[in-house]
Structure 1
């Protein structure tokens, strides 16, 4: 299955960019970031920024933007049967133009990866092409909010995300 990602959620004042790998099947169907109900992303955003899953999607998005947080994915498109990051066909990945995004959002000083697959894809496909002017950006790989990463309890994920995003 060929999956096509979404445009970024951001305004000109974004300070933090959270990058996933590629939207899963439920997200693609609903055309919303992190739409899988078992994904902990919006639950974490609710606890940290008041942008929880009980709010309409548009309100959650505005809550992130109001807190200087942008959302996007490393992959613009890729072949992936199902929703698991491990199933992404590496040779099919088309990365998003993150160099242009970062150049157009100069206040972004921190890029957070929602899981190790997003970090790995970024390091392999994006980082080598970034101009030197963007190498001062800090990076943090956070525990995946995916239900596939169930080995880590929610409270530990929340603590790890809070330690990075609330500094």
Structure 2
């Protein structure tokens, strides 16, 4: 018997003006509890997005304002998984995952031309499950270092990630 709970992702945050979808793997525990994309205050995603799109500005305090900021800049948010069994927040603990309909999202919002995968798990799962489909082949797929604050040999902290996000994603932002 598996004692870990099945968790469900959020609906996509996208509209007809979205040009880039930032695709995570699955919201962590803090995000699920807050009912917010990247709701863990330690996660760097909102800081990274603001640093790239509004240098010098801090992320808005209110979640609704953060979403409005992303929308103004054509950035959509979603996750590669619709649901999974997972204890805690680590991608490595994801089991029995059910994917979101990423191709369907791309058909619904054809202005999305760039899929920016936030971390290796979302990138590998996206390509494994949908990589050969025309909806993906017709678009640019990027692999960003995870916005998680957990240090890695290549990305020790925020500044390392910001440099990488700027190099990889920066050319596609307005």
Q: What TM-score do the two structures reach when normalised by structure 1? A: 0.90
Q: Is the 8 A contact 1:52 1:60 kept in 2?
A: no
Match of 1:25 in 2: 29
Give the one of 148, 156, 160 matched to 1:146: 148
Match of 1:60 in 2: 66
Gaps spanning 5+ residues in structure 1: where?
none
Question: Superposition pairs for residues 30-45 of structure 1, below 5 Å?
Answer: 30-45=34-49
Distance 1:98 1:69 in 2: 15
Distance 1:15 1:134 in 2: 14
Distance 1:48 1:69 in 2: 12
Q: Does 1:69 align with 2:69?
A: no
Match of 1:10 in 2: 14
Question: What's the CA shift for 1:38?
Answer: 1.1
How many residue pairs match? The answer is: 163
Q: Deviations over 1:52-92 (max 9, x none)?
A: 44431001001011101110000000011100001001xx1
Question: What's the CA shift for 1:133?
Answer: 5.2
Q: Does 1:83 align with 2:89?
A: yes
- 3-state SS of the aligned residue for 2:39? coil
Gaps spanning 5+ residues in structure 2: where?
none
Q: Is the 8 A contact 1:49 1:64 kept in 2?
A: no
Q: 1:101 to 1:147 in 2, by over 3 A?
A: same
Distance 1:119 1:166 in 2: 18
Q: Is the 8 A contact 1:10 1:69 kept in 2?
A: yes
Distance 1:133 1:115 in 2: 21
Q: Is the 8 A contact 2:15 2:76 kept in 1?
A: yes
Q: What TM-score do the two structures reach when normalised by structure 2? A: 0.87
Q: Is the 8 A contact 1:44 1:52 kept in 2?
A: no
Question: Superposition pairs for residues 85-100 of structure 1, below 5 Å?
Answer: 85-89=91-95, 92-100=96-104
Q: Is the 8 A contact 2:142 2:169 kept in 1?
A: no
